[in-house]
Amino acid sequence: MGHAQTLQQAASLGDVLIVGVNSDASVRRQKGPDRPVIHEANRAAMLAALGCVTHVVIFADETPRALLRSLKPHVLVKGGTYTTEEVVGREVVEAYGGEVRVVGSQPEENWQNAEVSMSDAVAHSRWYQSREPHQRRCQRA
């Protein structure tokens, strides 16, 4: 339930919600050979099916920094008990005047060990206009 609430909170901060998802290879490098439990395409499809998510992008890098440089979101959102200084990619977003927000801070939830591993970043941008369901899509960065 925590991930869905985080995404809903992130969606409320702008017009479009773009979710970055670590590729399978990236997850394996970070968490070991038995991960991920759910294939990247399935994780992306589950996220894209949520009404609050406009686009899902699978990225292969260890961090979302390159994706953030490309997308230039107005707001970078991280769920959990982090401080804004701990959010990976914060320096990229702040360098061009973007904002970094931490939402859903609930210490009793263990966000780092969730089975459905979302990316380090939920990127939010106001430059897309449509929120029509037929225009939601998944793509690889």
- State the DSSP string of the chain: -HHHHHHHHHHTTSSEEEEEEE-HHHHHHHH-TT--SS-HHHHHHHHHTSTT--EEEEE-SSSSHHHHHHH--SEEEEESS--GGGSTTHHHHHHTT-EEEEE---TTS-GGG-SS---S-EEEESS-----GGG-EEEE-
Q: Would you state the pLDDT for residue 109?
A: 45
- As assigned by CATH, the class of the 2-140 domain is alpha beta
Q: Which two tokens stand for residue 132?
A: 């029509």
Q: Would you state the pLDDT for residue 131?
A: 39
Q: Would you state the pLDDT for residue 138?
A: 52
Q: Would you state the pLDDT for residue 104?
A: 80
Domain ranges of the chain: 2-140
pLDDT tens track of the chain, all 141 residues? 578 889 999 999 989 999 999 999 999 999 999 999 999 999 999 999 999 999 999 999 999 999 999 999 999 999 988 899 999 999 999 999 999 999 985 544 443 433 333 444 455 443 333 334 434 445 555
